[in-house]
Amino acid sequence: MSGIFDTFIYLPLYNILIFLYNFIPGHDFGIAIIAITILLKAVLIPISKKQIESQKKLQELQPKIKEIQEKYKNDKEKQTRETMEFYKKNKANPFSGCLPLIVQLVFLIAIYRVFINISDAGLIVDPKLLYSFIPNPGQINNFFLGIVDLSKPSIPIAVLAALSQYFQTKMMMGKTKSEEKKKESTSSSPDFAQIMNKQMLYLGPFLTLFIGIKFPAGLAIYWLVSTVFTLLQQMQIAKKANQ
């Protein structure tokens, strides 16, 4: 399995990154990272779009799901049957977002390995990994725009990546009907879905910040650009949905 991963995902990404580095005027590795991030996100647009739409639809259905769970809380079998029937009636699949997420995760792991392996090698390209038609630049310039040292963590970029993660997650969550019902409800039972959403709102940015201040800046740049791209994509999907 690792051989397939390396051959069809890792090596192509490695070579595309080096090609972009060679092609971009000034040989700025940071700009090459931004370019490959945008290229990768553009290729994955159909997959990520499906995931965003699936999450949005499930979120809109969440208040009704909660009602079903409350109604049949003493009959788990009935609760499950009614929940699945409700999903079927509304043409929603709670697992439909899993495959797109897995695909994106595979590419995230690959691009992570590319950045880390190049950084661990002292920003020196491994000629054994290059295709024959990709020139070997040898030592890579480790400064982004002549300012940020890509071989070291960058706290400002890590903070920007964490903030963008926060706003992207917050926009995905939106202001659901369940939040409005919660204000009006006198029930003391906890809304576990809401609790999980709030935890993810802060946990995701915290992990992004932690990774950003621990790993070389190239990974934080990738995460920042990737998150901003997803945020813009969410805005476009929301705009179309409101038209």
pLDDT single digits (tens) 107-149: 888 888 998 888 888 889 999 999 999 999 989 998 898 899 9
Q: Tell me which of 188 and 223 has the higher pLDDT.
A: 223
What pLDDT, on a 0 to 100 scale, did the predictor assign at position 187? 47
Cα–Cα distance between 98 and 168 in angstroms, integer?
Answer: 19
pTM assigned to the model: 0.79
Helix/strand/coil for 149: strand
Q: Give the pLDDT confidence score for residue 184 in this predicted structure.
A: 45
- What pLDDT shows up at residue 28? 93
pLDDT for 224 equals 93
What pLDDT is recorded for position 38? Answer: 94
Residue whose structure tokens are 């090459």: 32
Long-range contacts of 162-167 (CB under 8 A, 24+ apart): 162/205, 162/206, 162/208, 162/209, 162/212, 163/205, 164/224, 164/227, 164/228, 164/231, 165/204, 165/205, 165/208, 165/223, 165/227, 166/201, 166/202, 166/204, 166/205, 167/231
